[in-house]
Amino acid sequence: MPELPEVQTVLDGLIKSLQQKEIRTLDCHYDGTVIHDPEIIQPAFPARTTAFARRGKYMILTLDSGNSLIIHLRMTGKLVHGTAQDSPGKHERACFVLAWEEALHFIDPRTFGKIVICNTKNVQNYLPRLGAEPLDEEFDHHYLKRMLSGRKAPIKNLLLDQRIIAGLGNIYVSEILYRSRVRPDRPAGMITDKELRAIVQDTKAVLREAIDKNGTSISDFRRIDDKSGEFQNFLKVYQKRQCPRGHDIEVIRLAGRGSFFCPICQK
């Protein structure tokens, strides 16, 4: 499940493998995967990428045709660098055809992923309201306190809310709360200042470590070169039976998702 570190890993791979190469076409092999803005500047292709950016779990590529690409991998999407001769695989939903028979294949078994091509001036219309970037200075305990004060929903639900923090998903929220020693079902508004500071620090630390390890490959996530990330080897509670201190992990359902935590280490 690509979260911020996985998206950043894919984006870093794109910056290296796509660079300013000419994109000749964007083929769609599954109805609904590629979304066209009515105000696309024609011809959209061929085009070259002039800027690569990430906002939350969205990748935004600025093209020199006046258009932009917004890519969201959702659950199972991946981009794989290959050749244009590869016949579309069973789960290939779209394909960027490059010069010299190169291609970027968009593989997405569960079909939730999306690629938007839009006029660059319309990019914001295709992005939802997103909260702070967790690695920006703006994301500190003052911000978190402001967003969570008075809220009664479990802390985990709100850390997953992209309108509050952009980029966290189920795996990293579980890991962050374990490090901060806060139970995921605690009402968010009741978290102490000291704990909020810990959550902010641990969020930044976990994300930086995970980016450093090229993300977490739990099920489908792969890098552009189809290699796995390595952070799955450093998870402490997610899908674990015991925490590092040997206590049994408890699994509960929050926000419709499996939530792993240590009932002894986390208060």
Instruction: Respond yes or no: is residue 137 known to be catalytic.
Output: no
Instruction: Respond yes or no: is residue 154 known to be catalytic.
Output: no
Cβ atoms of 262 and 235 closer than 8 Å: no
Q: Which of 2, 5, 154, 184 is catalytic?
A: 2
Which 44-73 residues touch DNA, going by CB under 7 A?
A: 56-57, 72
Binding flag, residue 229, DNA (CB under 7 A): no
DSSP 8-state assignment for residue 247: P
Tokens of 27: 């083929």
Please report where in the chains the tokens 């968009």 appear, as a residue: 106
The site map against DNA for 117-146 (x = CB under 7 A) is -----------x------------------
Part of the chain binding DNA (CB under 7 A), chosen from 17-25, 195-203, 222-230, 252-260 = 252-260
The 3-state secondary structure of 8-77, one letter per residue: HHHHHHHHHHCCCCEEEEEEECCCCCEEECCCCCCCCCCEEEEEEEEECCEEEEEECCCEEEEEECCCCC
Say which residues have a Cβ less than 8 Å from residue 37's Cβ, sequence separation at least 6: 67, 116, 117, 118, 119, 122, 125, 126
Binding flag, residue 90, DNA (CB under 7 A): yes
Part of the chain binding DNA (CB under 7 A), chosen from 17-25, 63-71, 95-103, 166-174 = 166-174
Name residue 168's amino acid. L
Part of the chain binding DNA (CB under 7 A), chosen from 9-17, 63-71, 156-164, 200-208 = 156-164
* Nearest in space to 91 (alpha carbons), one of 104, 70, 77: 77
Q: Which of 157, 203, 214, 216 binds DNA (CB under 7 A)?
A: 157
Distance (Å, whole) CA 172 – CA 158: 13
Binding flag, residue 240, DNA (CB under 7 A): no
Q: Which of 15, 75, 135, 252 binds DNA (CB under 7 A)?
A: 75
Distance (Å, whole) CA 209 – CA 88: 35
Instruction: Respond yes or no: is residue 114 known to be catalytic.
Output: no
Name residue 215's amino acid. G
Checking DSSP bridges between strand 34-36 and strand 114-119, what pairing results, if any? parallel
Binding flag, residue 258, DNA (CB under 7 A): yes
Count of CB atoms situated within 10 Å of the CB of 257: 16
**C-beta of 16 vs 110, nearer to DNA:** 110
Instruction: Respond yes or no: is residue 3 known to be catalytic.
Output: yes
Q: Which of 25, 111, 119, 122 binds DNA (CB under 7 A)?
A: 111
Part of the chain binding DNA (CB under 7 A), chosen from 9-17, 21-29, 103-111, 135-143 = 103-111
Q: Which of 21, 55, 74, 257 is catalytic?
A: 257
Q: Which parts of this chain interact with DNA (CB under 7 A)?
A: 1, 3, 32, 56-57, 72, 74-75, 90-91, 109-112, 128, 151-154, 157-158, 160, 162, 169-171, 253, 256-258
Q: Tell me which residues are annotated as active site.
A: 2-3, 57, 257
